[in-house]
Amino acid sequence: MLGVALLLLAGLGTAGCGSGTESELREVRAAAHARFAAQDWSGVLALARGALDRLGGDAELESLAALACLRLDRRSEALTLADTALARDGLSAELQAHLSWARGAALMQRFRELQSLDDWRLANQALEGGTLAGDYRVESATALVALQTMSGLGDTERMLRFARLVRELAPASESDRQVTALLERQGVSR
**24-91 and 92-190 share one fold:** yes
Q: Which residue has the higher pLDDT, 92 or 9?
A: 92
Q: What is the structure's pLDDT at 16? A: 31
- Give per-residue pLDDT as tens, 97-140: 999 999 999 999 999 999 999 999 999 999 999 999 999 999 99
pLDDT bin (cut points 50, 70, 90) of residue 20 is low
Q: Say how far apart CA 40 and CA 34 lie, in whole Å.
A: 9
Q: Say how far apart CA 88 and CA 51 lie, in whole Å.
A: 17
- Give per-residue pLDDT as tens, 35-64: 999 999 999 999 999 999 999 999 999 999
Please tell me what DSSP assigns to residue 87: T
Q: What is the structure's pLDDT at 184? A: 95
Please tell me what DSSP assigns to residue 134: S
Distances (CA, A) of 2 to 7, 9, 14: 9, 11, 18
**Class of the domain covering 24-91:** mainly alpha
CATH number of the domain located at residue range(s) 92-190 in this protein:
1.25.40
Domain boundaries, the chain: 24-91, 92-190
Which residue type occupies 1?
M
Q: What is the structure's pLDDT at 80? A: 98
SS3 assignment for 136-158? CHHHHHHHHHHHHCCCCCCCHHH
pLDDT bin (cut points 50, 70, 90) of residue 166 is very high
